[in-house]
Amino acid sequence: METPWADRFAQRTQRMRASVIRELLKLAEQPDVISFAGGMPAPEVFPVDAVAAAAERVLREHGAQALQYGPTEGYRPLRELIVARAARYGLHITPDHVLITSGSQQALDLLGRIFINPGDHILVEAPTYLGALQSWSAYGAEYVTMPIDEEGMITQALEPALRTGPKFIYVLPNFQNPTGATLREDRRWQLITLADRYGVPIVEDDPYGQLRFEGEHLPAVVVESARLRGAATYRGNVIYLSTFSKILAPGLRLAWVVAPPEVIAKLVQAKQGADLHTATFTQMVATEVAQGDFLDRHVQVIREVYRERRNTMLAAMAEHFPVGVRWTRPEGGLFLWVTLPSRLDAGAVLEQAIAHKVAFVPGAAFFPGAGPANTLRLNFSYAAPEQIREGIARLGHVLRLQLDQPRIMPRAA
Ligand SMILES: Cc1ncc(COP(=O)(O)O)c(C=O)c1O
């Protein structure tokens, strides 16, 4: 007898769903579609030669070690490199505060494993990073949502939410995915002080912090929190995540967590059950690539490329989008957020956009509950400038078609 697989799936899989949007976006993978949908870096800036040379050196000089199992915590020289880079931003940590993970996505999942009991509430921005919701929902998380505007989480609304006793706060302070918003400095302080007062830890997810191409760098929440405590070495309420995905290459699947040693120890146990450790070879290659000032120079190149793409997208939207459409103007990162006139539905727009060979993600997907139907996320890092101009022109055309459609009036009795 053939196994009826669906009857065998664990209860938690009932919360995992293939969304209609994902199905639609599969169509966006056709080569002639200009996609603003994914979160992919510009492939032109991948340091292919540097990675090839580093891989060659690693294999030649430490081949056996590179192909061997390694410690769950991660390759020590890579953890030391992260410690040294953190010190430049005023965060004083030791390798015992660092765990290397297979992407930040794994870090989010491991945090879910060690912190979330079914029914626990997690305080998230609305909208927020979809991948975190996907991970944590599988562990039975419920969400308390905080509204955000162009300056990040609206912290005035934080206190009543903290009184509901969330397990932790999840915040994306820099060039947030999906809106591009950056948390204002005084709001960072408010977040830290209120979280401290109510004894609620913060998970700061910061894949884009180094990709600022305009304006002043703002200290990370983890840095401000350590400073508040006046500690010479990192202590505090904040678990910090970042990744090599956007400053080197996502295919390496390399990221890191900074957390108090007792949290790292528990994450290590969880990671052992997940994958034993992150690939030794890629950790060694990344360490080799990041030696000297290569990484800093490379990040400069990425910033320049993304600044140009963002500018191209902003200019094209100003030219082609109909009156009544609004958008954010992020100072870094990969995304911006568009608000359509309230009578438009981004799902319907996407359907027509795909027919016109251009794609994006409707904004409602990024809300844990129901989200506004008239919003959408655009990625400006992946498509080249001429494609951005063409894609935005197509999208502008689709928006006009949608606005010209007669509204469906309720039938007279
Ligand atoms: C906010 C946020 N967190 C985590 C991730 C996952 O990144 P990684 O490639 O390191 O798994 C992403 C990827 O886009 C992201 O935007």
Query: Please, what sign has the CA dihedral across residues 38, 43, 45, 51?
Result: positive
- In a 3-state reduction of DSSP, which class is residue 241? strand
Tokens representing residue 327 in the block: 């958008």
Q: Which atom of ligand 1 is nearest to the CA of 106?
A: 11
CA of 177 to the centre of ligand 1 (A): 9
Q: Annotate 139-183 with DSSP letters as a single string.
A: TT-EEEEEEEETTEE-GGGHHHHHHT--SEEEE--SS-TTT----
Pocket of ligand 1 (CB under 6 A): 39, 103-105, 129, 131, 172, 177, 205, 207, 243, 245, 250, 255
Q: Which atom of ligand 1 is nearest to the CA of 172?
A: 1
Nearest to 313 by CA among 400, 390, 246: 390
The reported pTM is 0.95
pLDDT digits (tens, 9 = 90+) for 199-222: 999 999 999 999 999 999 999 999
CA of 397 to the centre of ligand 1 (A): 31
Q: Which atom of ligand 1 is nearest to the CA of 246?
A: 9
Q: How far apart are CA 273 and CA 276, in angstroms?
A: 6
CA of 105 to the centre of ligand 1 (A): 6
Instruction: Look at residue 30 in the predicted model and tell me its pLDDT.
Output: 85
Instruction: Look at residue 413 in the predicted model and tell me its pLDDT.
Output: 41
Q: Annotate 369-396 with DSSP letters as a single string.
A: S---TTEEEEE-SSS-HHHHHHHHHHHH
Side chain identity at residue 109, one-letter code: D
CA of 242 to the centre of ligand 1 (A): 8
Instruction: Look at residue 411 in the predicted model and tell me its pLDDT.
Output: 52
Tokens representing residue 100 in the block: 């290397």
Instruction: Look at residue 406 in the predicted model and tell me its pLDDT.
Output: 72
CA of 179 to the centre of ligand 1 (A): 14
Nearest to 108 by CA among 153, 161, 170: 170
Contact residues for 252 (Cβ-Cβ < 8 A; gap 6+): 244, 245, 282, 285, 286
Q: Residue of the nearest CA to atom 7 in ligand 1?
A: 104
CA of 241 to the centre of ligand 1 (A): 9
Q: Residue of the nearest CA to atom 16 in ligand 1?
A: 177
Residue 87: phi and psi, rounded to 5, are -60, -35
Tokens representing residue 316 in the block: 């094209």
Kind of pairing, strands 152-153 and 358-359?
unpaired
CA of 132 to the centre of ligand 1 (A): 9
Q: Which atom of ligand 1 is nearest to the CA of 245?
A: 9
Instruction: Look at residue 20 in the predicted model and tell me its pLDDT.
Output: 62
- In a 3-state reduction of DSSP, which class is residue 406? coil
The partner residues of 149 in beta bridges, in order of sequence, read 152
Specify whether the CB–CB gap between 309 and 41 falls below 8 A. Answer: no
Average pLDDT along the chain, 413 residues, taken 10 residues at a time: 90 75 74 92 96 98 98 98 94 96 98 98 97 94 96 95 97 98 97 96 98 95 89 84 97 97 97 98 98 95 98 98 97 98 96 95 93 96 97 98 75 47
Side chain identity at residue 77, one-letter code: P
Tokens representing residue 64 in the block: 């056996």
